[in-house]
Structure 1
Amino acid sequence: MYVSEQEVRAVLTYEALIPAIRQALIDYSAGRVNQPPRMILRAGNADDYRNGWFGVMPVVSGDVMGVKTVTFYAGNDELGLHTHMAIIELMKRATGEPLAIMDGRLITEMRTAAVSAAAFSGIAPLHFQSAPTSFGIIGSGVQARAHIDALKHVWPEMRDIRISSRNAANAARLADETNARAVTAEEAGAADVVLTATTSPVPVLKGSWLKPNALVIAVGASGASLRELDDEAMLSSYVIAEGRSSVERESGDVLLSGAKVKAEIGEILADPSVARIPRDQRVVFKSVGMAIEDITAARLVWKSIGRATNQ
């Protein structure tokens, strides 16, 4: 069975995905997921920033196993193409039977935002004295839009949405479409909660802009030599990882700043008492994307299509 992006879009919802991702993160931290490190190969198609990469992400979890193959080409923006594209193969764990092959671009988009939403729901009550209201976004691509959609499911108090981008026209367009404001990066960085969702190889968020108890959700610029947050932002923060080994291996924000990961989000979601998340210090949640998230979303799609077919 091949499942197109259009079919994925028709059945995959944040209402189902966020709680499923929450449980997947708990399972991962509890050691119930067999997930080796992501393998990344350079495409060699260019000598500059347009040089793409090809990643292979296998995982075994629950009653399924699978692999996502994903590509990232920063230069695709100039060609009117998506920068990230992916294919997911889903298999039955008990027998190895192929269950489905599906387009993984939208799944990657939605699961990334769903991870942030699950993390926010676990961190925010422990970190803020009262519910935050302002949301600053640095970046105006698919992840900026997806995070607004996903976080609304767990953050009803969100009121003031601020969007900053190196492309002012894109920021203004997204702001118009989401009832937000297009602002400078400094104003976005001064919100209660700040999302960085860019492909920048150098910091786009300065620690000097952040509130003393800001929550930063950093999802962009994955790679050991890339970073979105400067040293002050990282070193003044309590760092929580999506997956400790993945972030410590692949995040330039962590590696280049020397910041230490204090906790893993699955541990906090399972038992909030394991991490003493500070109320008077900044918190950074860093994610780089893991195969367990893709397979969790793919399983939801497969189950939903199966139910629809049997009706």
Structure 2
Amino acid sequence: MSIPAPAPVFVSSEAAREVFDWKDAIGALQLAYSQSQPPQSTPPRSVAALHKTWLRTLPAVPVTGRYYGAKLMGAAMGVDKPAVEYVIVLFDRQTSRIAGFVDGALVTGFRTAATSAAALDRLAPPGPARLGVLGSGLEASMHVRAIASVRELSEVVVFSPTPEKRAAFAEAVTRDLGVPARGVGSGREAVEGADLVLCAARSRDEQPTLYADWLKPGATIVSIGSTVPSQREIDVSVVERSDIIVCDMLEEVLEETGDMLEANKAGLHFHDKSYSLVDLMSGALDERLLQAQTRMFKSVGGGLQDIVVAELILSRAIAAGSATPLPIQFETKYL
């Protein structure tokens, strides 16, 4: 007589927030990317679309860990109030059964910032650092907190177009992290003199928001705002200036983002200085890093990040009793 498998559970964003820890998520991602990932285990994202309706899928089977699965995002843009919802479905490697569903909205922000911090921790020189931030939204806020968990921040200087928003952002950073922070009136002012530079806001007209002549020698850059061909964030001069460019999804970053397409159009040669996150985490770039002045991490996001962070959250939510059991049972087909 077979024993019924535990019912799947649901983890809400509220429950995810309660159990999430930046350092643990960053460590889990560093471990996951320190091992070679076969291409078939982390395929590129796929998008199904018809007219104004689209569904994006990001699957992954991590080399380590108990769970595998995919994140799904869907939107029908032709309705009165278009919106996007995210769900991460996790399968149990030990049973082949669906273990849980995790609300992916907050997790997406967590995993993006944690991945950036994981990369920056390997790219940037150790020691206290001044952080220049372009953007004051949720992604920028999460990134500052993630970066603060791997580096001592001496100051945070932020620019975004709305004075009230950048002032509120700076106030929250000082209140939550105890780090001196201030808003300034231009991107150049935020970036000049910064050891670390975070680009987390595309311009409304898709013009670059960061230029190489703003950067101090030895600066480390994190760029997350150009993820498809139509989006721009950094100027081609930043690509030219960078000695090492680390990408979470190498081919997608180089071939499908507006920043790199524009750099290619300008005749820049950057493929020979662009590397994967696995190259960075495995230590393959250690010697090159010793010689590099300007280092950059560019991210488009990947399913591996979603699954690694969602596994951490699911396991902790179950242990804490904050995961919601679902009154459902899937029919199992044995192979």
TM-score (norm 1): 0.85
Measure, in 1, the Cα distance between the counterparts of 2:57 and 2:289: 34
Counting only pairs closer than 5 Å after superposition, residues 177-256 of structure 1 correspond to structure 2 as: 177-179=172-174, 180-183=181-184, 184-190=186-192, 191-200=194-203, 201-238=206-243, 239-256=245-262
CA contact (8 A) 2:279 2:285 kept: no
CA contact (8 A) 1:138 1:198 kept: yes
Does 2:45 align with 1:38?
Answer: yes
**Once the 2 structures are TM-superposed, how far is the Cα of residue 69 of structure 1 from its aligned partner?**
1.2
TM-score (norm 2): 0.79
Distance 1:144 1:150, change over 3 A: same
**3-state SS of the aligned residue for 1:9?**
helix
Deviations 1:241-294 (A, max 9, x none): 123223223322222212324222322222155550255632111011010010
Does 2:170 align with 1:175?
Answer: yes
**3-state SS of the aligned residue for 1:257?**
helix
Deviations 1:138-189 (A, max 9, x none): 0110111101111111102x11101111222211110111121111200122
Amino acid in the other structure paired with 1:182: G
**Once the 2 structures are TM-superposed, how far is the Cα of residue 104 of structure 1 from its aligned partner?**
0.6
Does 2:312 align with 1:300?
Answer: yes
Count of aligned pairs: 292
**3-state SS of the aligned residue for 1:296?**
helix
Amino acid in the other structure paired with 2:187: A
Deviations 1:64-111 (A, max 9, x none): 21110135899xxxx8x9x86421111113432000011011111011
Measure, in 2, the Cα distance between the counterparts of 1:248 and 1:308: 41
Measure, in 1, the Cα distance between the counterparts of 2:292 and 2:101: 46
**2:59 counterpart residue number:** 58
Measure, in 2, the Cα distance between the counterparts of 1:73 and 1:233: 36
Q: Does 1 or 2 have the higher relative contact order (CA < 8 Å, sep 6+)?
A: 2
Q: Runs of 5+ in structure 1 lacking a partner?
A: 46-51
**3-state SS of the aligned residue for 1:159?**
strand
**Once the 2 structures are TM-superposed, how far is the Cα of residue 220 of structure 1 from its aligned partner?**
1.3
Amino acid in the other structure paired with 1:253: D
**Once the 2 structures are TM-superposed, how far is the Cα of residue 40 of structure 1 from its aligned partner?**
2.5
**2:155 counterpart residue number:** 160
**3-state SS of the aligned residue for 1:227?**
coil
Distance 1:91 1:146, change over 3 A: same
Mean Cα deviation higher: 12-21 or 65-74: 65-74
Query: Which of structures 1 and 2 has the bigger CA Rg?
Result: 2
Measure, in 1, the Cα distance between the counterparts of 2:261 and 2:287: 22
**3-state SS of the aligned residue for 2:280?**
helix
Counting only pairs closer than 5 Å after superposition, residues 71-90 of structure 1 correspond to structure 2 as: 85-90=85-90
Does 2:41 align with 1:68?
Answer: no
Identity rate, percent: 30
Measure, in 1, the Cα distance between the counterparts of 2:84 and 2:288: 36
CA contact (8 A) 1:30 1:267 kept: no
268, 274, 277: which is aligned to 1:262? 274
21, 24, 27: which is aligned to 2:29? 21
Measure, in 2, the Cα distance between the counterparts of 1:84 and 1:164: 27
**Once the 2 structures are TM-superposed, how far is the Cα of residue 15 of structure 1 from its aligned partner?**
2.4
Mean Cα deviation higher: 237-246 or 109-118: 237-246
